[in-house]
Each structure stands twice: as structure tokens, then as C-alpha cells.
A and B are shown apart, each in its own frame.
Chain A
Amino acid sequence: AKEEKAAPVAAKPVFKVGLVTDLGGIDDKSFNQGTWEGVIRFGEENGLVKGTDYKYLQSGAEADYVPNLSTFADEKLDLIVAPGFLFANAMGEVAEKYPQQKLMIIDDSSVQKPNVVCAVFAEHEGSYLVGVATGLKAKADGKKVVGFIGGMQFPLIEKFQAGFEQGVKAVYPEAKILVDYAGDFGAPDKGQALAQKQFNAGAYIIFHAAGGTGNGMIKEAKERSEKGDVRWAIGVDKDQYSDGLYGDKSAVLTSMMKRVDVAAYEVAKMTLAGQFPGGQTLVFSLKNNGVGIPNENPNLSADIVASVNEYAKKIASGELVVSEIPAK
């Protein structure tokens, strides 16, 4: 690895990265945005020009995936990144049509092509940690009910639910966990309605794995807390602390970070260095800090953070194995 960052101008490489977003768009506060941030970081560090050396195409429909990827492939970019397992088929097709094109897909391990690198995450591990935090916090405050709101109910999101449930139960077996799926990743109104429902049913803390839908939940937690009826939200993908701000407080207890930015950044760096891990599936887990909670957790007491870290160590070391499938 060459780490001569001292003179970026002189060492400016000719390297182009493209991101194709899914329907959510580049600023979805979720994994499209996360991936883009990784690309930006890579671009800035290497003195690339935004809009020409690194850029993105936004998809308006699933039918746009292939033409968008192909357009970049025709431009012979050095790396094309696409976040989301929905890209799996399109990625497979394009990989075949452009065997020289280096491609990366996030959240999917099914595309087995020599010119594609897959990045997947151990969401259940990170979710376990926020589950632990949730359990401890609820127990400490004498609350019995917590909740989970998922976007759409499919295995990827069930990993979040599974990890969260195991984490809560590990520290607070009596806790009741409400579970709802919104059927949508971009509907804050649904998130808000489901949050109202769960909060009304006594939920003290809600963890969401619902992208934009979860924003409605955070909003509801914020509004209630501000009025003195303290409730907590747990963010996902990125550190959502700032989304929960009211006054100088935040209703976001902590977040389950899924470092898609790291994945994109790392793969881009490897590719630039001529070490494109084609055909491999990279797993981002607690072990390599691919998932986890933020470094700063102002709303968590020190002892909760300490226990969370303990669990993190156990999981990272393999001592504790978290199941990916929710208990029925």
C-alpha cells in the first residue's frame, strides 16, 4: 500500500469511480449516501475531480440499473459501485457483457464473477449490540417494552431484527419486543404511524432498519421526548444522532452503523493499488469494524457502553455467535 499522501497533486492518478444508486438516491441518509461518502473520501484523498473522475448515476426505476451500469462501463471507469442486493441480476448481466470492467456490489454475495467484488455486512452482530444497549437502558429506567420497525420483510432486514432481539434478551430477558414491518423503505409517514402505535403500546426504545421510513419514527420519538414523555430511537446505517436533535438533546440513543462508506472506500483504494479483489466476497463485521455503534454515544451511560463493548469483543472473537434468523 502506498500511503504517500504528502504530495497529492504531484501523485494525482488517472482513476475514475462511478456509483449507480438505487431508487433511494444519493442523499437518502442511508446506504446510497453512505456509499457515496466513501467514494467522496476516496476521491478527495486522491485528488480526483468530482463530476468527472468520480460521479454517480441515479436510477429512477429498476429497469434503469443495467443501462446505468452499462453507460459507466462504456465510459470505461476504473470501478463501478452499486449498493444493494437489488442490483444482483443487473450486476451479473453487466459483468458478463463487460468482462474487463471492475465492479462492486454491496449487500450481496450471489454475483460470482471474476470482475465483481461483493461486500456484505454482519448486520446481526451490530444489531445485537444496539439490542444490548436497548435492554440495559430499558431495564435501568424500569421500562418493559421495546420495539423494532423494519422496512420490508426479507432476510436482509430480518438479520437486524434477529440480532436486536438476541441482544435485548441477553441482558433483559423479561422485555417485550414489538415488531412491525412498514413494507416500505421510503415512507416516513408509515414509520411515524407505526412508531405512534408502538409508543402507545408502551415501547420505550425503538430500533429501526427501515431507511427513510425510520425517519418518521425518530421524529415521533423526538416530539414525545421534547414534551417530557421520554422515548428513544435507535438509528441505522449511519450515526443518526443529529437527526434526533431537539434543543441540545437528541432522541437517538445510539445507532447501528453499517459502514458501507468503508466498504466502498476500501475497495476503491485496493483497486487503485492494483489489488482489485475480484471474485471475492468481503465480509464487514464487528471484527473489522464494518458494523458497530458510533464512537460517541452521549445518551448512553458509561457502564452501558462498557457492557456493549464487552459483548462486541466476545462476538468479534467468535466466542459469541449471533443468529441471523429471528426466533419465531
Chain B
Amino acid sequence: MNLGMILEMFPIALMFGAPIVMAALGGLFSERSGVTNIALEGIMMVGAFAGASVTVVLEPVTAMAPWLGLLTGIAAGMLFSLLHAFTSIHLKADQIISGTALNILASGLTIYLCQILFNQQRTRAFSYGLRKVTVPILSKIPIIGPMLFYEMYPTFYLAITLVVVTWFVVFKTPFGLRLRSCGEHPQAAASMGINVYAMRYAGVIASGAFAGLAGATMVLTQDIQYTVTSIHGTGFIALASLVFGKWNPWGVLGAGMFFGFSQTLSYYAKDIKILASLPLEVFYALPYVLTIVALVVFAGKSVGPKAAGEIYDQGKR
């Protein structure tokens, strides 16, 4: 493996990493507010479906189509996550059951809508989706330039921005403090006059926005249309990244990128001498094995928000 190869791997790895990071940030908002969200996968599907549909329809009309697609993905994700919020916050549903329902619903619903809208099992193919960009000047910097600024999907920069924004919102603002308090000790938050329901709604809907964006990003950068396999488990990888990244935006960034890279590595494995003799399946499995190893190595006390997954009941002592 030489330096050139590593540089080459960057844009690919970051393309894979961006939606993972976005969705995991969504999970961060939700869990920090105290609601486990295993429906990231389903929300991503809905976001991807909405993003792809809008892009297909608007592409002939405007060059902004994919960006409008991203926005629609966000909106659709929010709307869909509202279902999770309503059942698990208002109706005190077991959050795992509710999330599971959303995941099952997403695949049925999106494909059903595809049939209504496009008369087929998938959206029509858009002709471009998001396009890669080369950042002027910065891309000329040796090493860093080709790694981070040459022919990159703009969604990568969006993901990085969202990491910073998330960090700021969650750890530096009153909103963040309140959000976290609801995920740690909702009864305490309530006793301080914080509306736990509202905060949890905010958390879940934010997760819908982020996961919807992630889904749209994924389909618009890595696919040509939405199909039922467009998301293929990325929501669960995002969930893993959230745990792996210890519910911290920077950790999530690291974990998401780690996944991007180990996935990319599997494509390059056969060109790397010492790895070339191994069967391909070994490399396909690599990201997942590495994650487990990393989790064991970095296993620590750090656990997620204490009250995540717990049904909020005012009277509880």
C-alpha cells in the first residue's frame, strides 16, 4: 500500500462516511433527549425516497434539484420520525418496538409510494444527483488537497459542518443542556420547569431531520435512484457509530469515517500485496470485524444517556 493509494481512498471513504456521520448525529440528538432511535434505518429510507423523488422530478426544471432533494429528505425524515416521537413520547410506547415498526413500515411505504408515483418498484433514475466539487486553491495543497478538497461530494463538508453544529448546540447552548438533562434524568429536568415532552420531541425530530438528510445524501451521492436496497443497513451502522463514538459528535465523526475507510479498504485489498491472496469475502467482513475489535479495545465505562430508552413518567421516583 502506498501513499498514492491512501490519498485515492480518501474521497471514496468520505463519500461512504458522510451519511453515516449524519445519521449517527441524528441518533445522538434523539438519544441525548432520552429516546432510543433504532429507526434510523427506516428514516433514512424515507429521506432517500423523498430526496430521490424530488430530484428526479425537478432535475429537468432546475439545477438546484438535488439540493431541493436534500431539503425534502430532511422534511420527510422529520415527518416520519414524528410517528416515533408520538408513539414513544406521548403514548409511552416501548421505544424499541416503535422503532422496529418504523423500520418495517419504511420499506413497505416507500416502495408502495414508488408504485403510485412512478409505477415501478423504485423511483425513476435521476440523471445526476449531487455532483462532486473541487475546492479552488485548497485542492492545490499537497497531500491535503487531493485528500480532502479534490472531487469531493459537498455533502462531506456538510457532514463536517453538522458535527461542529451538533457539538455546539448540544454542549454549548442552553437548549443542549436541557436536551441532555432530559436524556439523563428527565424527572430532574421536569422539576426545573423544563418541558420534557417538548425536548424529547425536539430530539426525535432532529434525529428525523438528520437521518432524512443522511438518506437523501446517500441516494444522491451513491446511487442513481431509490430502491429498497439503497440504504442497505447503513442506519444500523450509524447506530453502531453512535455507540462507538460514545454519543459524542467528534467520536461519531471518527466512527463514521472509520466505517467509510474500512469499507473502502475492501475495494483496494486485492491491490495490496499482502492482502491479495485472501478471498474477497474476508474484506467484505473486515469493517464489521474491526468495529467489534475496536469496541473491545476501547471498551470503557462511558455509557449512553442514562434515561435513553426509558419511558418518561412524571410520577416516577
Contact = CB atoms under 8 A, between A and B. Distances in A.
CB–CB under 8 A between A and B in the complex?
Answer: yes
Interface of A: 25-27, 29, 58, 153, 180-181, 183, 186-190, 192-194, 196-197, 200, 212, 215-216, 218-219, 222-223, 243, 245-246
Contacts of B122: 25, 27
B268 A186 contact: no
Contacts of B268: 197
A186 B16 contact: no
Interface stretch (B20-28, B127-135, B189-197, B200-208): B127-135
B87 interface: no
A246 B59 CA distance: 12
Given A197-B8, A197-B12, A197-B268, A243 B223 contact: no
Interface string B1-20: 00000001001100110000
A244 B267 CA distance: 24
A243 B270 contact: no
B229 interface: yes
7 contacts: A25-B122, A58-B121, A181-B280, A186-B229, A189-B223, A223-B128, A245-B127
B280 A183 contact: yes
Given A181-B280, A186-B227, A216-B224, A196 B12 contact: yes
Contacts of B131: 223
Interface string B102-130: 00000000000000000011100101110
Contacts of A188: 222-224
A246 B223 CA distance: 16
A196 B11 contact: yes
B264 interface: yes
Interface string B222-234: 1110010100100
Contact of B222 (A58, A153, A216, A218): A216
Interface of B: 8, 11-12, 15-16, 120-122, 125, 127-129, 131-132, 218, 222-224, 227, 229, 232, 264, 267-268, 270, 280-281, 284
B281 A183 contact: yes
Nearest to B118: A27
Contact of A193 (B12, B121, B128, B129): B12
Given A25-B121, A181-B280, A245-B127, A189 B267 contact: no
B264 A26 contact: no
Contacts of A219: 129, 224
A216 B229 CA distance: 14
Given A180-B267, A200-B8, A26 B120 contact: yes
B9 to A, nearest CB: 9
A189 B132 CA distance: 14
Contact of A189 (B16, B128, B281, B284): B16
Contacts of A218: 224
A27 B121 contact: yes
Contacts of B218: 189
Contacts of B15: 193
B284 A183 contact: yes
A222 B267 CA distance: 21
Contact of A243 (B16, B125, B229, B232): B125
A208 to B, nearest CB: 13
Contacts of B127: 222, 245-246
User: Which of the listed residues A27, A183, A246 has the most CB atoms from chain B within 10 Å of its own CB?
Assistant: A27
Contacts of A216: 222-224
A222 B224 CA distance: 12
Counting chain B CB atoms within 10 Å of each CB, which of A153, A218, A219, A243 scores highest?
A219
B76 to A, nearest CB: 21
B314 to A, nearest CB: 44
A26 B267 contact: no
A16 to B, nearest CB: 22
Contact of A197 (B222, B267, B284): B267
A220 to B, nearest CB: 10
A240 B262 CA distance: 32
B121 A187 contact: no
A296 to B, nearest CB: 20
B159 to A, nearest CB: 16
A223 B132 contact: yes
Contacts of B229: 186-187
A181 B264 CA distance: 14
Give the one of B16, B127, B128, B232 with max A CB within 10 A: B127
Nearest to A245: B127
